[in-house]
Amino acid sequence: MKWLFIILLLVASVSPYVLISTSNSTVLPSGHFIFFPLDVKSPQILTYSWNASGDIEVSLMTSSQFNAFVNGTTTAFTGLYITNSSYRNELLLMPGSYYLVFYAFMGQVTLNYSYNLSNTNVTYSLQPGYYEYYTLNLTYPFHLNLFLVSNSSISVEVYSKNTTFLSLSPPSRSILTFVNKTITLNPGEYNVTIRGVGNTTTSIYDLITYSSIYPNPLSLNKVYYPMGVASYGVFNESGVLVPYSVIASSVIGLVNITSIMEYNATEKLLNVSPYSASLQLNVPVVVVNGIHNQTYWAQNVVTFLTNESALCYDSSILNVSNENATLSNFSIQGKGAVYPPFNSGYYYRYATHTVKYKEPLAFLLSINVSVLKKLGVNLKFGVKLLQNGTYKGGNWTYFDSVLINDPSVTKAYLYVSGYSSPEVLNYYDAELVFGGGGNGGTAQFLNLSAYLALFYYNGSTRAFPSVYSMGGDTAETASNVQVYLKSGAVYVTVGQDDPKFLTNQFSATLPQASKNQVSNVSLNTTNTSTTNTSSSGSKVQNNSTITTSNSTSSKTGTPPNSSNSTTPTTQSKGYKGFNFPITYVVIGIVVVIVIVLMLMRRSRRPDLNIEP
């Protein structure tokens, strides 16, 4: 028995080098054929396809088979042949001379065809009566990907105990030399068996891989990523993804920047300042209305002009329900507008005026969602300044409040989940990431020092327990940015780009604050643990909200109720004073007035009114 150790092969073996490529069309009269000689010096894969106006026979022949066919010494069409009007196939060719033949055996046909040869390797060869098999024993649902190319017909079977999940064999009077199939399987033990069909040695190029059915944050293979902190709703246990979901009414980002400077001359081509960079709090919004549910991508963005020490706040909403989803200035309303400004706009946007900042700069960003009955969904974009140079303190300010018109809405929430991906976005992920100044630009940081943390609120404020160093859906990206854990938070600085998984036990907490006064702008590094030591499902509660323990007080740093956007969320710890009932105050005032009147009366001189 051979255990399956699946690895990705080198590019040379996965993407073979193309040696010959031909594509053309022709008309074949009845009984006529065209052929192409192939001189093969090393193992190669022949990929060929055709589309004809009627059935034709297509065969790969050896020299002796081709000579017999041409000379008429055999009445049968020989070789590895397929009879069909349209088909695509691949064959593994060992060194030798071959002929690819297209034969109009029934009547005249119009034929479009193509073929190419590419170098490859032989994974193994099977003698007659022998077979190859692999065993997989996985503890999570997975996709099994089968890619095989052979020089003669094969059969393939995937089974577990007495259950067969896939069985492939050559059709009658045809061949099976190419398998490219993906099947989805539940956790368990499975066997994959490959057999040669016939009495000759079968050589096979074999690439069998498996992958978790859950979205993998590290699978994008991008040149640049938005860098910072992001949660994808998955625990990463030694490369095995264990999903969970978070349903929240608010997502909060904590930011503490001690230095930032960016310059990228190419951003000018995107109509963006070369000194601009952005920090974005982004999260999907799910709207349920019982008719056609909607998904939106909400963005609370701080755009920096680093050469001017200036910034502005920017709210943005995209409809990502499907590829054709749009927005209009009727379907969504706020301080901003939909762009382009027509009925089929792509996104909503609002930006504040530019203001100056000083370092160190610390603040909270939030996106809040709520349902307004018979109206729609309210999204609020908030910022709470914690420190701007020497200034400390500040209240929550909601710089934009947006209504998504949907009278039939029943519920709406911010959603992070590793169980699936939306139709348009790559992931259901929450991100607090640095990127370019806009229009998909890349920020090249010359200097950067910042602490970041990412939280959600669904009755209490908690840090997302598992985080990565990069975002998966933000369009703007960053270069020369390194991310790692430090002092209980995510630290972002200049260095080698390193998109990676960070931790399953992210335990940052929000800074303690009193009314209008920040007592500690730096991150609270109290170590709090997350209850996720078991992979048996205790991390997920009804597939909705993760069940983690966290010592963060829900009264600290939580965005205020949307009905009051300026009330601080904590009370002053200083002197509170007396709190008399109003009745006693009124009585006291009356008594004082009476006493004053009596004193005035006693001190007044008597009128002298003496008659003569």
Residues 223, 355: one domain?
Answer: yes
Residue 552 in tokens:
């963060």
**Residue 602 placed within a domain:** no
**Residue 562 placed within a domain:** no
How does pLDDT run across 81-111, given as a tens digit for each residue?
898 989 999 999 999 999 999 999 889 999 9
**Residue 43 placed within a domain:** yes
Residues 272, 377: one domain?
Answer: yes
Residues 364, 287: one domain?
Answer: yes
Q: How far separated are the first and last CA of the chain, in Å rounded?
A: 143
Q: Does residue 360 have a cis peptide bond before it, meaning omega lies within 30 degrees of 0?
A: yes
**Residue 34 placed within a domain:** yes
Residues 346, 393: one domain?
Answer: yes
pLDDT, residue 91, reads: 96
**Residue 541 placed within a domain:** no
Taking residues 336-340, what's their average pLDDT? 93
What letter represents residue 271's amino acid?
A: N
* Domain final position from 212, 247, 277: 212
Domain of residue 44, CATH code: 2.60.120.680
* Domain final position from 454, 480, 503: 503
pLDDT, residue 230, reads: 98
Residue pair 298/367 in contact by the 8 Å Cβ criterion: yes
The vertex-308 CA angle with 228 and 432, nearest 5°, equals 15
Residue 410 in tokens:
């029943």
3-state secondary structure (DSSP) of residue 221: coil
How does pLDDT run across 197-256, given as a tens digit for each residue?
989 999 999 999 988 889 999 988 899 999 999 999 999 988 889 999 999 999 999 999
How does pLDDT run across 470-518, given as a tens digit for each residue?
999 999 999 999 999 999 999 999 999 999 999 999 999 998 654 433 3
Domain of residue 188, CATH code: 2.60.120.380
Residues making up the chain, counted from first to last: 612
In order of 287, 417, 590, the CA distances from 281 in angstroms are 19, 17, 57
pLDDT, residue 373, reads: 93
Taking residues 388-416, what's their average pLDDT? 95
**Residue 147 placed within a domain:** yes
* Domain final position from 119, 143, 169: 119
How many whole angstroms separate alpha carbon 333 and alpha carbon 329?
Answer: 6
- Enter the pTM of the model: 0.66
Residue 220 in tokens:
């994008």
How many whole angstroms separate alpha carbon 469 and alpha carbon 485?
Answer: 9
**Residue 604 placed within a domain:** no
pLDDT band at 433 (very low <50, low <70, confident <90, very high): very high
Residues 433, 409: one domain?
Answer: yes
pLDDT, residue 600, reads: 44
Domain boundaries, position 208: 124-212
Of 301, 514, 253, 331, the C-alpha closest to 399 is 301
How many whole angstroms separate alpha carbon 505 and alpha carbon 527?
Answer: 10
Residues 194, 300: one domain?
Answer: no
User: For 268-272, which contacts have Cβ atoms below 8 Å and span 24 or more sequence positions?
Assistant: 270/436, 270/438, 270/439, 270/440, 270/441, 271/439, 272/436, 272/437, 272/438, 272/439, 272/441
Residues 200, 251: one domain?
Answer: no
Of 159, 513, 144, 467, the C-alpha closest to 363 is 513
How many whole angstroms separate alpha carbon 418 and alpha carbon 530?
Answer: 18
In order of 70, 133, 181, 417, 542, the CA distances from 212 in angstroms are 52, 21, 16, 15, 21
Higher pLDDT, 573 or 90: 90
Mode of pairing for the β-strands spanning 442-457 and 477-479: parallel
Residue pair 369/410 in contact by the 8 Å Cβ criterion: no
pLDDT, residue 607, reads: 31
Residues 285, 164: one domain?
Answer: no
How does pLDDT run across 257-309, given as a tens digit for each residue?
999 999 999 999 999 999 999 999 999 999 999 888 999 999 999 999 999 99
**Residue 6 placed within a domain:** no
Element housing 13 (H / E): helix 11-14
302-306, 416-420, 422-426, 554-558: which range is least confident on average? Answer: 554-558
For residue 442, which phi and psi values (nearest 5 degrees)? -110, 125
Calculate what percentage of the chain has a pLDDT beyond 90.
68
69-78, 341-350, 442-451: which range is least confident on average? Answer: 69-78
Higher pLDDT, 394 or 386: 386
Of 121, 273, 93, the C-alpha closest to 206 is 121
pLDDT band at 566 (very low <50, low <70, confident <90, very high): very low
Residues 362, 229: one domain?
Answer: yes
Residues 435, 299: one domain?
Answer: yes
Checking if the pLDDT of 13 tops 90, the result is no
Residues 417, 352: one domain?
Answer: yes
Residues 150, 71: one domain?
Answer: no
pLDDT band at 599 (very low <50, low <70, confident <90, very high): very low
pLDDT, residue 173, reads: 77
Q: How many domains does the chain have?
A: 3
135-139, 176-180, 414-418, 527-531: which range is least confident on average? Answer: 527-531
How many whole angstroms separate alpha carbon 527 and alpha carbon 519?
Answer: 19
In a 10 Å sphere around its CB, with 0-12 CB exposed, 13-18 middle and 19+ buried, how is residue 603 labelled? Answer: exposed
User: For 423-426, which contacts have Cβ atoms below 8 Å and span 24 or more sequence positions?
Assistant: 423/295, 423/320, 423/321, 423/322, 423/323, 424/295, 424/320, 424/321, 424/322, 424/323, 424/325, 425/284, 425/295, 425/297, 425/320, 425/473, 426/215, 426/220, 426/472, 426/473
